[in-house]
Amino acid sequence: MHCASLGEFEQGRPLIELLKIEYPQYPIVISFFSPSGYEIRKNYPLATKVIYLPLDTTTQAKKIIDSINPAIVIWVKYEFWWNHLAEIKKRNIPVILTAAIFRDSQPFFKWYGQSWRKGIQLFHFLFVQNKTSLELLNSININNAAIVGDTRFDRVKKIADNQTDIPFIKDFINGCKVIVAGSTWEADEKLFAPTIINLKNIKFIIVPHDIHPANIIRLKKNFKNSASYSEVIKNDALALSTNFLIIDSIGLLSTLYQYANIVYVGGGFGKGIHNILEPAVYGVPVLFGPNHEKFAEATEMINRGGGFSIKNSIDFTSTVMTLLNNNEAISLAGKNSKDYVLSNLGATEKINAYIKLNRLLTN
């Protein structure tokens, strides 16, 4: 399975876990392009080996395919390495694309995109997330495709079902409403700081994307009466005396979302929002910045009334205060979020059913 980075790994992970149950005799190799994905998941227990995918040359592609000799190759979402795909195709190894999204702005669908169209034909089958993607593929005579949705829904549901408590968090909350800001950048923090600093009887948990010490120090200066996670686990009395908890550890975010009444997800004032499905599965309103046009789930959650696009600090204040002052509004928005996730489960099972039906792997 090839994953560009950590986000794509999380999309592919439900399929890895299911295939390991269905076909336990097969070793699993996971490749990454991004160091962030590789470094965090290089010791993933279900993988026999985790590697960087070599440069996309004919020679390197031959070497890696000779070395692994895969029974099947699974490509997650995007990042097409044409020489690798061509070598896989040449050897009649089935290669499937999962969780794909296509847009008419991509070169596949332009007059100059003939070589790109030839590349996409190297896939044995393409599993796409939505109707638009399927129609675009059909428009260039790619018909070996089907809509199955996004495996991330299955992943976040499993995370929520297996969640555990963080011991001191209930002491920190102390009966107050909680806002969790996940995967935040400095632009996000500047957005919500003027509002949350002045809120009374509200607890705030900030989980920055960058947890390097210098960034944690910056956050603690900006948010008075704050404590870091590493400080609180050494001295749990701090949990009772602070309004702002700053998380300086990796791997806690999806667990922390379960305590939220409102969630803000960062990235929407940069390249794009981070994962908004992780909080949505817990049935909470989810706020995020305006750069979400490439994320179908953001548009759908807005349409359903569970997601809220925030343009500036005034917008943030208005939305948060409306929700905090109206229990019915906050409950309805949360229900809309959770219903959206639950209505989109099942992509992993559908992909596995195709693999089984077409005997791409054998027991």
Same fold, 2-149+346-357 and 162-342: yes
| 348 C-beta neighbours (distance < 10 Å), count | 28
Q: With contact defined as beta carbons under 8 Å apart, do 102 and 133 qualify?
A: yes
Q: What is the dihedral of CA 173, 223, 36, 22, to 10 degrees?
A: 10
The residue-averaged pLDDT of 312-329 equals 95
The pLDDT score that the predictor gives to residue 348 is: 96
Q: Which two tokens stand for residue 230?
A: 């590493």
Report the distance separating Cα 132 and Cα 106, nearest Å: 13
More confident residue, 74 or 234: 74
Report the distance separating Cα 264 and Cα 288, nearest Å: 6
Asked whether the CA dihedral 11, 271, 95, 74 is positive or negative, the reply is negative
Whole-model pTM: value is: 0.89
Q: Where are the domains of the chain?
A: 2-149+346-357, 162-342
Report the distance separating Cα 128 and Cα 212, nearest Å: 37
| pLDDT-derived band at 198, boundaries 50, 70, 90 | confident
Tell me the CB-side half-sphere exposure of residue 255, using CA atoms within 13 A: 13
| pLDDT-derived band at 168, boundaries 50, 70, 90 | confident
Q: Which two tokens stand for residue 64?
A: 């890696």
pLDDT exceeds 90 at position 167: no
The residue-averaged pLDDT of 59-77 equals 96
CATH tag, 162-342: 3.40.50.2000
The residue-averaged pLDDT of 333-352 equals 96
| pLDDT-derived band at 280, boundaries 50, 70, 90 | very high
The pLDDT score that the predictor gives to residue 225 is: 86
The residue-averaged pLDDT of 58-68 equals 96
DSSP codes of every residue in 190-216: HHHHHHHTT-SSEEEEEEES---HHHH
| pLDDT-derived band at 106, boundaries 50, 70, 90 | very high
Mapped onto helix, strand or coil, the DSSP state of residue 309 is strand
CATH tag, 2-149+346-357: 3.40.50.11720
Range from 81-85, 157-161, 187-191, 359-363 carrying the lowest mean pLDDT: 359-363
The pLDDT score that the predictor gives to residue 240 is: 84
Strand intervals (E) in the chain: 2-3, 29-32, 49-52, 73-76, 95-100, 125-128, 145-147, 177-184, 202-208, 226-228, 244-246, 262-265, 286-288, 307-309
